[in-house]
Structure 1
Amino acid sequence: MKLKSKILLFLAAIFLLFSMIVWLYSMLLSERTNEEWGKIYVKSQINFDKSRALLPIMREITVIKQMSREHALIQMALNDENATLREKGLEVLERYRLKFQDKSYFAAFLKSQNYYYNNSTNDYAQNRLAYKLSKENKEHRWFYDAILLGDEYQININRDTMLGVTKVWINLLLKDNNNQTIGIIGTGFDLKKFLKESVDLKQEGIYNVFINKSMSIQLERDSELIDYSSLSVPYEKHKTLSLIIKNDEEIQKIKEEMLKLEHLDKENSISTLWIEYKGKKQLLSMIYLKELGWYGITIINAKKLILLNNFSVFLVFCIAFLIALVVISIIYNRLLLNPITRLKKIMREVEHGKYEQHIPIIGSGEIAELSKQFKSMLEFVIRNNSELESKIEERTAILKESQQEISSILENVDAFIHIKDVNCKYTYANKNVIHFLGLPLDEILTKDDTAFFDENTANMIRKNDLHVIEKGIKVEVEETITNPLNNETKVFLSIRTPLFRKDGSVYAICTTSSDITQRKLAEKKIHDLASYDTLTQLPNRRLLMERLEQAMTLSYRNKFYGAVMFLDLDNFKPLNDTYGHDRGDNLLVEVAARISSCLRDIDTVSRYGGDEFVVLLCELSLEKDEASKSARVVAEKIRVSLEKPFILNVLSENEEKRIEHKITASIGVTLFMDNDVTIENVLKSADIAMYKAKESGRNTIHFSS
């Protein structure tokens, strides 16, 4: 009989004896012990499930309550059209955002209907006003329903289609000093993460679910069963516990137990009942989470409540195994260990290179067969060892040739290529990089960019490198770098590629940079030709229209008045007719300079065509009268500046001489702030006002009515 058969027969005898002992022992204590254990287990499990769901939510609610008492936030909710109050309120929101677990917040205000939002990656830093709330928009119904409900806070799971995120939202009513509701503030949990931490901790034989008072499913490991937007959808569309427990009678019993728990004064009271779940008899335990208005339900397989059998099996198994171990160890030494030890000794000698030795047949049965197979394997190794060494030498030579080819390509490609380790230190640089830095290769390797560039440039390069190392993604970015040799500034298009180990971690990055300086200069030249007047270098009509559109949008949003001036030069044509267009062009250049000197940096002067100029004044005042006064001051400053004589060099009778030429300007002015007025209407109004200035005797200023 083989060794395997002997061991199997022996273990079978031990198993029979072991089974008889377990059966006798379990008959004596099973009934009473299992009953007491069931009560303890159910209470422990339901409280454990409660803590998983409740603690992280209550922590966030505490932080939100602290935020709701911030005076600046209350003032912002009452008047977020005021820029100062809005900025102070946003500072509070940003400060508390970093305290929230999800690093995100939202704030919706009843008066302005504005919805502010920012997330953990600060994507909304430039525009935290996410959107406007509307009663007509069914997606915004949650806001008005939550205020109508009047609960201090609510927990709601839904998808914000405006922002494209699905979260566990914590809503808190924001109230003013008179205890009047003025908005809703709060934060959100990442749904997948929260489900994983609360109901997706898989425990064999245990199922968890959380429902609200209407039995709508709030948390379940299968996200398809969760009742999203339970504050805003009709009841008949809710996803309730009946999707999980199909029996109507059992659902009715659960409803009755829910009412009992809700009206009990005793905290942490637990209700239990037996139900049929997934075709098996299981124990349902339930606890009322007063803080959330939810019920935590845990369904436990009846087998999980049987303690005695498991304990008895464990205890008897330990005793039986100890006895069996002593017996088996004696047999094991005699039948297996001694022969295997001899064979292992021979294997160790082979491992140290002693291939040429006699290998006897050791032991009997499978051990003897094993020693025969080892002997055959050793003979095979000896035969193939020389062949393997030959192949290694051949492939090593091929690998060296490939490395030389790759190195030749990298050295001759028209790009700047280098490799850095995860500490941003150079480990390779091709000849273009070496030439750019002006140093030999050995003085570049093992150093970072602080050794070659100024602090700002080195920090910029390091930031881009670390982004690739930390994220493990390929990144393409434009970089402006000054050559340390000649201080020549160049623009590079750099492609950074992470290099990965087999385990997926990044061990280095390879950067390929192309010099795009000439391309960027050409693009700038094309842009300037398209947007600026070639004679005066002032913005042309196209660029003026863009800036006027932006100014009108900002004016309407911030309620600041702006102004447009239409200027037409008086007495310009005689200069052209007498001395030619070149002298006229010289005068137009000087006119552009004088007008520009009268304006602020935020204002714009444009050559509109011929001897016509348009001036755009931004952010004059919140009051129309003050804005009108400010515009008149600027217009008068321009008018006075242009009526001063111009000294020009002209050619007369083949002789160059200096002449004095006087011009004036007729200026039409119009104010704007109303969003209903078009750009064309504003320019037309200023143009009409300019013609009225001409009709009034020229060299005057006329405001449109």
Structure 2
Amino acid sequence: MNLKARFSLLAIVLMLASGMAVWVSVQTLAEGIITEWAQRYVEKQVRYDKQRVLQPILREIVLARQLASSPLIIEWLRNPDDIVLEYRALMELERYRGAFKDSNYFLGILANGRYYYNNAENEYGNDQLRYILQPDRPADSWFYDAAAQNKNLLINVNPDPHLGVIKLWVDVLLRDADGQVLGVAGTGLSLSNFLNDFVDSGEEGITSLFVNHEGAIQLYRDQSLIDFASLSKTVDEQKRLNLMLGSADLTRLQASMAEVRDAPEKVSSGFVTLEGTRYLAGVAYLPEIDWYEVTLMDLNQLLPLSRFNSILLIFALSLLFTVLLFHIVLGRVVLAPLQALDAAIRRLRKGEYHGESLGVNASGEVGRLVAEFEQMTTEVHEARTNLEQKVRERTDALNRISQTDPLTGLFNRRGMDERLLDELKRCTREKRWMGVIWIDLDLFKEINDVYGHGVGDDALKLVAKVLRSVVREYDAAARWGGDEFLLMIRDADNDMLQHICERLLRVIRAQALPIEGGNSLCMTFSIGAYLAQRDDLEEVLRQADAALYAAKAAGRNGYKIYDETLPLMNAPDTEYTSKTCL
């Protein structure tokens, strides 16, 4: 007899033994009494929970609607760039903040994507503008979906990754006199506090949850089952009641939801099975927030069967016998091979198992399972080894790309930042000096305006070529942004910086950038340099930038080393303009 037949026979024996005991001892005596009592109790509990949850939400809805109709705020949203209107509107929002239960508010402007927020601690009292909403950013899709649905009121549970909070949000649309949507405003209730204070009844055996029309779970004491941001999800992406209920129970519950939707004053009830426990479910519709309340009552906890101890004892002895029998058979037939598989899986997770034989004497389906596992792990080990190698190679390539300017091939700002920080630490540790040379291509904007961005790009590439010809292999060159470049010179001194700056000026003046008409374009640099040893990167860059500013102020085509005793060094005979030179 194969494993399937043996387990089928054992399951039949267990079901007959336990089912007969339950049927004889409990069914006739207790089921009718418990059901009749529970039907009456669940209706009262549902109505109580409904009012308990609605009361704090309705208060926030009223305040949020008042906020959304404030003339000061509407006037500002029509002119979002007017700082006077902005100031007045923010003062109005701050007044509402004190009225909301959790003393917070939010406001998102559809025209420019600005999102304003302040909390009970007044943490953002001096800067309520927290971030800019982006239509293509998934974390911000709730805002644009709310505006697109065109519903004046939306209640949703949503985490805000920008602010690091999870709240029950009351969203109200702000409209102008013509009904045009200007933004979304409202407040948020602490999800944890709301669940503890209003959703969790605190009574053993009674569980309440709230769902929307699609059955997506909005409020539940187990937050891992809450469908956050339902507004921006498709039905297939939502965490719905089907995660908790079987198909038959779900169908019955959906029928109850349809029933109470047509008669909001009614409560519908029926039995469902959740995680193996039979519950009496009461369903009510909350039209004020367009949600459904589902109250689940565990009758085994609310009405224990201790009064039927003698009958239950018979059932317990029968069940104990069947469990012991099941344990003995299961241990010999299934558990021993599965324990070997379990140990192998743990070794596999630690990287200690590579597909060698488990040494298990098993037959039938279990034997085939063991053999397939050994073969599978061998293949997985080989595939993982290959994948890890490819991941390392791809990661190295991505790191190089993320630190390189695509136009010039030099370091970008991110890559240069890392080099500068590492070198400054080395200079501080070894008491050495580092040179920072800030280079600006003179009149680059004129090149773009007069000759086009194609010539401008060619000019930047030529600058990169010049910089590579000047620096040593252990120095670094970067395009800092636009027409600004940065050189890092290791183990430098003033003479070296002066020599490099003069060489840069000579080399760039010697270059000729071809343009249309057979002519060439001459270019010059403005250069600022600074000899650094401190580990404050911002201060180092500030001093180099000050030297660059001095070089520009003196007429460009020159350099300045940050030392007040040194004169400004300008080229004596070259004046750069955006004209061409043959």
Between structure 1 and structure 2, the one with the greater Rg is 1
TM range (shorter): 0.3 to 0.5
Greater relative contact order (Cα 8 A, min sep 6): structure 1 or 2?
Answer: 2
Give TM-score scaled by structure 1 length.
0.39
Looking at secondary structure, tell me which structure has more strand per residue: 1
Give TM-score scaled by structure 2 length.
0.47
